[in-house]
Amino acid sequence: MIPERISCVVGARPNFMKVAPVHQALARRGLQVRLVHTGQHYDEKMSAVFFEDLGMPRPDAFLGVGSGNHAEQTARVMTGFDSDCEQFRPQLVLVAGDVNSTLACALVAAKRGIAVGHIEAGLRSRDWSMPEEINRIITDGCSDLLLTPSRDGDANLRQEGVPDWRIHFVGNCMIDSLRTHLERALALGTAAALGLSAQGYAVATLHRPSNVDEPPQLARLLAALGAASERLPILFPIHPRTKKRIEDAGLHVAPGITLCEPLGYLQFLGLLAEAKLVLTDSGGIQEETTALGVPCLTLRANTERPVTVSEGSNLLLGTDTATIGPAVEAILAGQGKRGRIPELWDGKAAERVADLVCGGFRTLLDA
């Protein structure tokens, strides 16, 4: 199959960095590419900033699904995207990552007999308490093109019985965006504008339910970050969910921690690149810090991106906040993880995706 009409789906901000280079690579090949924004994560200012930063055109379709619980949100995306497929009649739907929009649009396409390509396929945390793990596994199950960012993704899929003809190791599309835009990001001088010196601060992000939904755990994390901020200032772009949890619980944030609103892609990338270390529970930031060679302390019990630990600069700390202080001290003493850039994180993953699409591929219906 060689498709002429392709729908590329974005739903949440992490999707933008993965889809932008693929959308551009396919458009350069002369294919008819429709950009569909489900609106799962959306506000006018932040959405506009991300699209501008990444050089993406305005979406051809905006479904406007908004927030809601998992069932409501997934259902609204499915209903909206089904109508969009009826109108555009794509021959291939490309979804990225592991958010509810990813799963919803893959299901709609599969039920309509439309080929599905999953950008960032094969990642596994093996933690079924994470909604993202469920989304990843089901999306992979109904995808024709499983586009993996690292070799462990291939191994996971084979272990699950997926035939080799569906698995394609293309590399990490999000790193394409990082490599393309890093120079512009650094030129903004965001750290200096915030009164921070290169290598003289840390960046923190927290948003996962396991870290922010239970006040005792959130309090312990804030206390550990507060202690670390006595050694170097911490910039904390705060997720709206996390901000609300802190306010609802009446928790204190140490003076060494500077809270700010979520940042645009280029601003945040520039801050990551010049940070001494990063503390996070985000999946994508584990990959970005590995590509940048910045020590990353992941505040989770597991990760679906083990290559960032086995090869990169990521250290998985678990959920015991007592591990944070010693890990920070080790980095400040020059003993932080260096790592190396994993295979095919070379800025050309999107071109490999376009090669696969334009070269033709088998589909589940043909098998």
Which of 240, 192, 246, 236 lies closest to 214 in space, CA to CA?
A: 246
Residue 71 CA: distances (Å) to CA of 12, 98, 104, 256:
16, 15, 10, 39
The answer for residues whose C-beta is within 8 angstroms of residue 14's C-beta and 6 or more apart is 97, 99, 174, 283, 284
What are the phi and psi torsion angles at 355 (to 5°)? -60, -45
Q: How far is CA 255 from CA 174, 227, 236, 260, in A?
A: 34, 10, 12, 13
List, in sequence order, every residue forming a beta bridge with 174; answer none if it has no partner. none
Whole-angstrom distance, CA of residue 364 vs CA of residue 130: 27
Exactly one of 23, 70, 168, 207 is catalytic; name it.
207
How many angstroms separate the CA atoms of 134 and 129, rounded? 9
Half-sphere exposure of 201 (CA within 13 A, CB side): 22
Which residues are 234's β-sheet partners? 202, 257
State yes or no: is 168 an active-site residue.
no
Q: Determine the angle formed by the axes of helices 240-249 and 215-228, rounding to 10 degrees.
A: 100
| CA–CA separation, 50 and 218 (whole Å) | 29
Q: What does the buried/exposed string (b/e) look like for 56-77 if buried means 16 or more CB atoms within 10 Å of the residue's CB?
A: beebebbbebeeeeeeebbebb
Q: Residue 239: exposed, middle, or buried by beta-carbon count in 10 A (0-12, 13-18, 19+)?
A: middle
Give phi and psi for 233, each to the nearest 5. -65, 150
Catalytic sites, residue numbers: 207
